[in-house]
């Protein structure tokens, strides 16, 4: 399996980003945290800073298995404005590889036209950016190789959906049990 790249911009939603990274790593997935800002240290919407593994300007995505966009503001807006990221998303989609976004970040996919004809969800009010998508309002929505999440409250379910897509249902169930998410 290749690498899952999770993108960070100042103002990212910590719960969404860290839950995805943590759950993927628990599943044994190779994860790289990528800054889209000039610095590898990125500050979240609630003041928590993270040291990313890479910077987008010197990152080669040849082994990208999945690209993940956390939400939060202004983080999602910065992701939307990052031309290098937009190019990678288009390449990933044309290669029919997985892309995931949560909260406000699905707007990036919507603005690129990647969600046309797909079921998708996002933070309430951001559905206006999901051009051509069928907005469901679900906590997590999967349509083909696209996975979208509603917001911070969906962070764990979103992370588990990423694992299920990459590693299968059994691995996802195993993690749910290990994380005390089952009765």
Catalytic machinery residues? 103
How far is 151 from 77, CA to CA, in rounded Å? 15
By the 8 A CB rule, do 104 and 71 touch?
yes
Query: Would you give the DSSP letter of residue 38?
Result: S
By the 8 A CB rule, do 111 and 82 touch?
no
Tell me whether strands 41-43 and 30-35 are parallel, antiparallel or unpaired.
Answer: unpaired
The full DSSP string for 79-133 is HHH-HHHHHHHHHHHHTT-EEEEETTTHHHHHHTTTTTTSEE--STTGGGGSTT-
Torsion 137-11-26-178 (CA) sign: negative
């Amino acid at each position: 399996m290749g690498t899952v790249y999770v993108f960070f911009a100042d103002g990212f939603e910590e719960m969404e980003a860290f839950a995805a990274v943590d759950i993927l790593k628990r599943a044994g997935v190779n994860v790289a945290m990528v800054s889209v800002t000039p610095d590898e240290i990125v500050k979240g919407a609630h003041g928590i800073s993270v040291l990313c593994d890479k910077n987008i300007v010197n990152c080669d995505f040849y082994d990208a298995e999945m690209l993940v966009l956390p939400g939060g503001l202004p983080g999602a807006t910065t992701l939307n404005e990052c031309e290098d990221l937009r190019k990678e998303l288009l390449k990933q989609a044309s290669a029919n590889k997985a892309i995931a976004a949560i909260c406000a970040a699905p707007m990036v996919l919507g603005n690129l036209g990647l969600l046309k004809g797909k079921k998708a969800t996002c933070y309430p009010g951001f559905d206006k950016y999901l051009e051509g998508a069928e907005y469901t309002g679900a906590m997590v929505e999967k349509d083909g190789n696209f996975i979208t999440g509603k917001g911070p409250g969906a962070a764990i379910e979103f992370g588990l959906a990423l694992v299920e897509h990459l590693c299968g249902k059994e691995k996802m169930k195993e993690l749910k049990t290990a994380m005390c998410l089952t009765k």
